[in-house]
Structure 1
Amino acid sequence: MVESSGHARVAERFLAAFGARDDAGLRALLAEDVVWSMPGSGTISGTVHGRDAAATRAWEIAGRGVRTELLHVLVGRHGVALSLHNTAVAADGRELDEHLATVLTVRDGVITAIDSYLSDVDGMSAFFAHRTPGNRADQG
């Protein structure tokens, strides 16, 4: 099915851009009006609207040293779900160790929505509770 394989390619390019910290590559995959929801109360929680806000969130996550391991790619009719394992250790010793599903809704080859589902919402909120020097994000 062409649609499904196209969704998987978008997901692969999304992960590659995130991993390489490729801002232009990431932004090219995001619709101008993309919406990204994330549970919790950390600095990356809530719903952001627009390509700039979504890119800012991605770089805040990356800026905290999060290592993302891809476990599974699950393809659907309207997008793809990524089963991921995120780990990181902050300078002050706080640890992040969570499994998550990141669901990318894809239309016409671009991501129109990102919905993140976490195994440890409280842990993520605690890890992203405080800003660290050099953070690129300006979200509250």
Structure 2
Amino acid sequence: MMTPEEIAKAFYGALAKRDWEALRALLHPDATWTLPGENAVSGMTVGAADVIDRVKLIISYGVSVKLENILLSRDNMALSLHNTAERDGIFLDEKLATVCHLEKGLIASIETFLSDVPGMNNFFV
């Protein structure tokens, strides 16, 4: 079974490479992902396929994701990220923490915390 740090590195690696099968292998089939705000990518998704679809939707807006830090607790992990993008003169520049709760070596739930929810709402329309 992978450690939380190994899962974090594999998660970011799959995201960076757009390797959806590798990402799916890290997710519990009933995984959830919650994002704040009131926009096209906000709310909760349920199921590994829907989590991957949300990642694809975010990337479709031209978002660049930079890993700043991997944060670890005893049993879980989080990614400290910096997302940037520009679309039709609208800019996205936000810091976020993607907190992953693990169960039996798989990501069971993801909750994202953002530095600029109004900016996210403005960008993801």
Give the TM-score of the pair, scaled to structure 2: 0.95
User: Given the alignment of the two structures, is residue 108 of structure 1 paired with residue 104 of structure 2, yes or no?
Assistant: yes
Alpha-carbon distance, 1:70 to partner: 1.1
Query: Mapping of 1:17-96 within 5 angstroms?
Result: 17-90=14-87, 92-96=88-92
2:125 corresponds to 1:126 = no
1:29-82 deviation per Cα after TM superposition (whole angstroms, max 9, x unaligned): 110010100000111100111111101001111111111111111101231111
AA aligned to 1:68 is V
Q: Which residue of 1 aligns with 2:95?
A: 99
Counterpart CA distance in 1 for 2:89 and 2:115 is: 20
Separation in 1, partners of 2:37, 2:15: 22
For the residue of structure 1 that corresponds to 2:3, the secondary structure is helix
Question: For 1:30 and 1:98, how far apart are their aligned partners in 2?
Answer: 25
- The match for 2:11 is 14
Q: Secondary structure in 2 aligned to 1:122? A: helix
| TM-score for the superposition, normalised by structure 1 | 0.85
**Structure holding more strand per residue:** 2
1:101-124 C-alpha deviation (Å, 9 max, x unpaired): 100111222100000000000111
What's the % identity of the aligned pairs? 42
Question: Over aligned residue pairs, what C-alpha RMSD do you find?
Answer: 1.3
Gaps of 5+ in 2: none
Query: How far apart in 2 are the matches of 1:119 and 1:66?
Result: 16
